[in-house]
Copies of this chain bind each other. A is one copy, B any other.
Amino acid sequence: MNFKQQYVRYKSLVDEYLKECVKETKPKSVYQPIQYVLAGGGKRIRPLLVLLSCEAVGGKMRDALHASAGVEILHNFTLVHDDIMDHASSRRGRATIHTRWDENVAILVGDELLALAYRALLKTKSPHIQEITKAFTEGVVEVCEGQGYDKEFETRPNVSVQEYLLMIRKKTGKMVAVATEIGALIGNAKKKHLSALRRYGEYVGRAFQIQDDLLDIIADEKEFGKAIGGDLVEGKKTFLLLEGFRRAQGVDKMLLSRVMKNGGIPKREVPAYRRIYYRTDAIGAARRFVERDIANAKSELQRLPASNARTMLVWLTDMLLHRTY
């Protein structure tokens, strides 16, 4: 079985679990959108990391299945609430919850998803269950903090690349690190393997987010599942904008500073800004950042004993770097 096949097999385990895990159907206003969310697909990177981290330290993958679903449900909770806050109308090519239903439904559905995430996680049988649930909870705290910074940055004219990196460490990196940490805990990892996997998660999480910023501007609209340049239109302080601003001069600097101050541009101006990102080599800088993180992530994996799961993690890391959607 090649890596792609293994990935698909693990992914369908998670998809299956998510399809089956919610038995309730009433009230309909809550459980219809929840089924819609959980059937929404996605790459399931986070739950895969839980399963593979558990295996990579010598644990049984099946023991981590509940927790892996918990991490994925948690991720979906953040998407539902972030989409309200970002006024996003589509996600993975489908209408968002507050668009298809309404904002009240989306608030409540997000809340319930968070509870369902804990429900799945707490089915885990492990002597470390308290530590696992604590790690999960600290992940939620930091995700909220990260989203808070993200929203604050939208209306602040002066945000540094450094502040941006703090924000994405909380908003994206932390939960990826929690995914690997929880998997390792369930697999009864040695301390050094636990630390290596946590650091691996931090690198991958950061690379993932910067790659996401890149894809927002260079991806294929259909495959990406959302409108290209959405971050610019929303006035989001992405790595590209901040790094581009730092590097730009003359008219380019003036144009980028306009985005920094106004909080958004009309959609028709996206191509002009894309050209600035290329001209300032903000695109190249982002790419190099991602590549360096990916290299560091892989070298953390080398601290683990050789195993099929470790090789799968390397493959998954590469897939991440080369994804176009």
> Which residues of A line the B interface, CB within 8 A?
24, 26-30, 77, 81, 84-85, 103-105, 107-108, 110-112, 114-116, 118-119, 122, 129-130, 133-134, 137-138, 140-141, 144-145, 147-149, 151-152
Decide: A140 and B115 in contact? CB cutoff 8 A: yes
CB A287 to nearest CB in B, in angstroms, measures 29
A134's partner among B104, B122, B141 (CB-CB below 8 A) is B122
Q: Which residues of B contact A145 (CB under 8 A)?
A: 24, 26-27, 30, 112
Give A303 to B77 CA distance when docked, in angstroms.
Answer: 42
A84's partner among B107, B138, B140 (CB-CB below 8 A) is B107
* Listed A/B pairs (16) with beta-carbon separation below 8 Å: A27-B148, A27-B149, A30-B148, A81-B111, A84-B104, A107-B107, A108-B144, A111-B114, A111-B144, A112-B140, A114-B140, A115-B141, A118-B140, A119-B134, A122-B130, A130-B130
Decide: A138 and B119 in contact? CB cutoff 8 A: yes
Give A149 to B118 CA distance when docked, in angstroms.
Answer: 22
Known A24-B145, A144-B30; contact A118-B104, beta-carbon cutoff 8 A: no
Apart from A26-B145, A77-B111, A85-B104, 10 more pairs, CB < 8 Å: A84-B107, A105-B151, A108-B151, A110-B111, A111-B140, A112-B148, A115-B137, A118-B137, A118-B140, A119-B138
Question: Considering only CB atoms, which chain B residue lies closest to A111 in the complex?
Answer: B144
Q: Which residues of B contact A105 (CB under 8 A)?
A: 151
Question: Considering only CB atoms, which chain B residue lies closest to A86 in the complex?
Answer: B104
Decide: B129 and A141 in contact? CB cutoff 8 A: no
Among A28, A110, A118, A152, max chain B CB count under 10 A is at A118
Give A115 to B146 CA distance when docked, in angstroms.
Answer: 14
Known A30-B148, A149-B27; contact A119-B141, beta-carbon cutoff 8 A: yes
Give A65 to B294 CA distance when docked, in angstroms.
Answer: 44
Decide: B152 and A133 in contact? CB cutoff 8 A: no
Q: Is the interface of A mostly helix, strand, loop or mixed?
A: helix
Give A81 to B29 CA distance when docked, in angstroms.
Answer: 16
Q: Which residues of B contact A115 (CB under 8 A)?
A: 137, 140-141, 144
Q: Which residues of B contact A116 (CB under 8 A)?
A: 141
Give A133 to B123 CA distance when docked, in angstroms.
Answer: 11
Question: Considering only CB atoms, which chain B residue lies closest to A129 in the complex?
Answer: B130
CB A125 to nearest CB in B, in angstroms, measures 9
List 9 A-B pairs, minimum CB-CB distance, nearest first. A27-B148, A115-B140, A30-B148, A112-B144, A118-B137, A85-B104, A115-B141, A27-B149, A29-B148
Q: Which residues of B contact A149 (CB under 8 A)?
A: 27
Question: Considering only CB atoms, which chain B residue lies closest to A114 in the complex?
Answer: B114
